Amino acid sequence: FLNDLLEYLRKNSFIIDENEIYLHFSTGAYSGEKNHLVNADIALQQARVMNKDICSYDDLPDIKAVQQNNLNWIKKLHHAIEEDRIKAFYQPIVNNKDGKIEKYEALVRMMDEGGKPISPFFFLDVAKKTKLYEKLTRTVFDQTMKLAAEVEKSFSINLTVTDFKNIKLMDYIYETLIASKVAKRIVFEIVESEELESKDLLDAITRLKECGSKISIDDFGTGYSNFNYLVKMNADIIKIDGSIIKYILEDKNSELMVKTIVSLANQLGAKTIAEFVESEAIFQKVKELGVDYSQGYFFSMPLESI
């Protein structure tokens, strides 16, 4: 039936504003007893990834395993939140001029029942698909605000487009910043995204700055990388993507990219941070290229306490 339907749709055009348009369709199918729309949608996503016309959920044993794994991590995450096992770890950021720690980035970790940290690699993407993600952001924010009141350093906190779209969460962040005495030492790191060019999200970023906090563009140099977007955001800091820094010693294009970003940042009055600085040689190279700060395992892994 689906093959016949797709063949019919392919052969027939649609008329929109007197324009004849032919469309290509991808289809996901599921014939089980429950979760019909969810599983059909999973099959549809795979059809798009595999560039197939039709994809059946029953033909995707790996997807079933992934789905079960996701459910297991959601369960673990739920218990960790209930038992206060979500913790912010802090990775130092050093000033390249004197090598001294000047800032820290807050990074979320889940502690297992034995007290060992679990990398966000295992649970963060899963959390973003649930309402649990807000709890992670709020927990890291609260813990970092408390630490900033005790330690005279700057602290950066990651926010995503998902966070910015959560009005309740953002109002909580604004109110907490205004009531605090440390807002000027809080930096919000934002991953580049075309969605951030929307007026509502740009207004939210402006409001964070009005609270006294700074804005940092995370992972700059890959992905969206729209220079006009930097101007609109009025970013205070540009973090150069680790995939560029990692190969800077042997890849001339990476070196050229860093030079370009540093020059752009200087013209915008923004500071630069090199991510993934994992050796003395890389540290010396980014200093030579004029990068202001460095972060990476050469200095320290993320720390549970500072």
Q: Do 38 and 124 lie in a common domain?
A: no
Provide the pLDDT for residue 62.
65
Q: Do 38 and 114 lie in a common domain?
A: no
Any domain includes 258: yes
223-232 pLDDT per residue, tens: 655 667 777 8
Burial class, 54, CB count within 10 angstroms (exposed 0-12 / middle 13-18 / buried 19+): middle
Q: Do 134 and 92 lie in a common domain?
A: yes
What is the domain count for the chain?
Answer: 2
Contact between residue 151 and residue 182 where contact means Cβ atoms under 8 Å apart? no
Any domain includes 65: no
pTM of the entire predicted model: 0.80
Any domain includes 71: no
- The yes-or-no verdict on residue 36 having pLDDT over 80 is no
Which residue range(s) make up the domain with 186? 86-294
Contact between residue 86 and residue 304 where contact means Cβ atoms under 8 Å apart? no
Any domain includes 236: yes
Q: Which DSSP state fits 184?
A: G
Any domain includes 110: yes
How many Cβ atoms are within 10 Å of 27's Cβ, its own excluded?
18
Q: Do 38 and 95 lie in a common domain?
A: no
Q: Do 95 and 145 lie in a common domain?
A: yes
147-176 pLDDT per residue, tens: 999 999 999 999 998 899 899 999 999 999
Any domain includes 187: yes
Q: Do 161 and 222 lie in a common domain?
A: yes
Question: Which range in 15-29, 48-62, 278-292 is most confidently predicted, on average pLDDT?
Answer: 278-292
- The yes-or-no verdict on residue 187 having pLDDT over 90 is yes
Residues 6 or more apart whose Cβ sits within 8 Å of residue 136 = 81, 86, 108, 124, 127
Any domain includes 67: no
Q: What is the mean pLDDT of residues 1-30?
A: 68
For residue 275, give the amino acid letter.
E
Q: Do 47 and 127 lie in a common domain?
A: no
Contact between residue 127 and residue 133 where contact means Cβ atoms under 8 Å apart? yes
98-108 pLDDT per residue, tens: 999 999 999 99
Q: Do 118 and 231 lie in a common domain?
A: yes
The candidate with the shortest Cα–Cα distance to 128, out of 80, 73, 175, 168, is 73
CATH number, domain with residue 192: 3.20.20.450
